[in-house]
Amino acid sequence: MRTLRHLALALGWACALTASALVLLYVQPEAQASTAWVAMAASFIPYGIVLWLAATVLFLLGGTRWSRLLAFPTLVALIVQVGWARPYWPIRTTPEPGGAPVRVLAANVRFGGADPASFARVVAEADADVVVVTEATERFLGSEDVADALAGHPWTVGRAASGPQAERDPSGTVVFSRLPLAERGRVPSRFDQYVVEVSAPGTPLVLVAAHPANMLGSASTWEREGAILRDAIRPHLAEPLAVVGDLNATAEHLTLRMLLAEGLTLGSQEAGAGWQPTFTSLPFGPPLIAIDHVLTNEHVTTRSFRTARLEGSDHAVVVADLVVR
């Protein structure tokens, strides 16, 4: 029995120390850009809830007065972390708005390796007005299933990767729309990102098809790309604005918090969609983190937000119903 108590204490300390490291990354987000590994670790800040809960239970199971006392600060930390997890609460934050409806879909097709038939099914079921495809390749977009699925979206802006290295090139981004579409600009980034104007009924919508670089190659590049995207949206904050795509960041990450600091809102949070992880969406397990997003400013409201599985991709598709005012 004593051995079990000691094991419970050891595991409790391990959970508490790991959770404390995640807390540090949340309260000091600049530290996330120190190394790629640290930035990746910050992806799991929401799981601090599980760690604090486990630490509390394990300290209570430790069986000594001192171990039970340790359960008090871990319980306090658990409550604080639950508060930080506000973006994942299934509670709608705004009333039903009035305005022009626009449904958007964002799909990372994994170097064009997603299953075309699965993509066609997802697009048909979503019936979106605007479809943003990242990591697009000419071969993928040229497949019969994909071409048929997007035939009702005649307006396009963007470029798909081509050539012998296309299946290793994540830079291609293409926006398809059934509503009139015009390019307003490009984001000067490693991957293609476009600022487009969607002619929503009554009020044009500025949409940024986003795909900043991830932190795997370099945390400093990841941070810099986040700042570049932030600077690109600033001229459009007075207009109805939506940022849609693979942001390579969770709500707790430094780069996404840069965008939120500009007054943007997570669509999943505004819609009260709850926990909607999108990556990694592979056959051997469920998605663990939410890095594909729809962000909007005060002139656009997210009425609903959901995800859908896309076979052959490591990302889930996100679909959001927006109301442009």
Q: Place 97 in a pLDDT band, splitting at 50, 70 and 90.
A: confident
> pLDDT (tens digit, 9 = 90+) per residue, 160-170?
999 999 999 99
- Give the mean pLDDT of the chain: 96
Tokens linked to 220: 């400093």
Q: Is the pLDDT of residue 75 over 80?
A: yes
Query: Which pLDDT score is estimated for 4?
Result: 83
User: Bigger pLDDT: 309 or 284?
Assistant: 309
Give yes or no for residue 2 having a pLDDT over 80. no
Crossing angle of helices 2-27/48-61, nearest 10°? 150
Which of 123, 145, 153, 26 shows the shortest CA–CA distance to 83? 26
Sign of the dihedral defined by the CA atoms of residues 192, 252, 25, 315, in that order: negative
Mean pLDDT within 97-120 = 96
Q: How far apart are CA 10 and CA 15, in angstroms?
A: 9
Give a three-class secondary structure readout of the chain.
CHHHHHHHHHHHHHHHHHHHHHHHHHHCHHHHHCCHHHHHHHHHHHHHHHHHHHHHHHHHHCCCHHHHHHHHHHHHHHHHHHHHCHHHCCCCCCCCCCCEEEEEEEEECCCCCCCHHHHHHHHHHHCCCEEEEECCEHHHHHCHHHHHHCCCCCEEEEECECCCCHHHCCCCEEEEECCCEEEEEECCCCCCCEEEEECCCCCCEEEEEECCCCCCCCHHHHHHHHHHHHHHHHHHCCCCEEEEEECCCCCCCHHHHHHHCCCCEEHHHHCCCCCCCCECCECCECCCECCEEEEECCCEEEEEEEEECCCCCCECEEEEEEEEC
pLDDT at 220 over 80: yes
Alpha-carbon distance values, 109 to 22, 34, 79, 135, 230 (Å): 30, 29, 38, 6, 24
pLDDT value, residue 312: 96
Average pLDDT of 10-37?
Answer: 98
Virtual torsion, Cα 290, 291, 293, 296, nearest 10 deg: 100
Band of the pLDDT at 282, cuts 50, 70, 90?
low
For residues 105-110, average pLDDT: 98
The answer, yes or no, to whether residue 55 has pLDDT greater than 70, is yes
Please determine, for residue 1, whether its predicted confidence score (pLDDT) is greater than 70. no
Average pLDDT over residues 18-33: 98
Beta bridge partner(s), residue 162: none
Domains belonging to the chain, first-starting first, are 2-84 (no CATH), 100-324 (3.60.10.10)
pLDDT digits (tens, 9 = 90+) for 182-208: 999 999 999 999 999 999 988 999 999
Within 8 A by CB and 6+ apart from 261, the residues are none
- Bridge partners of 210, per DSSP, are 245
pLDDT at 37 over 70: yes
Instruction: Specify the pLDDT at position 200.
Output: 93
CA distance 142 to 118: 15
pLDDT band at 176 (very low <50, low <70, confident <90, very high): very high
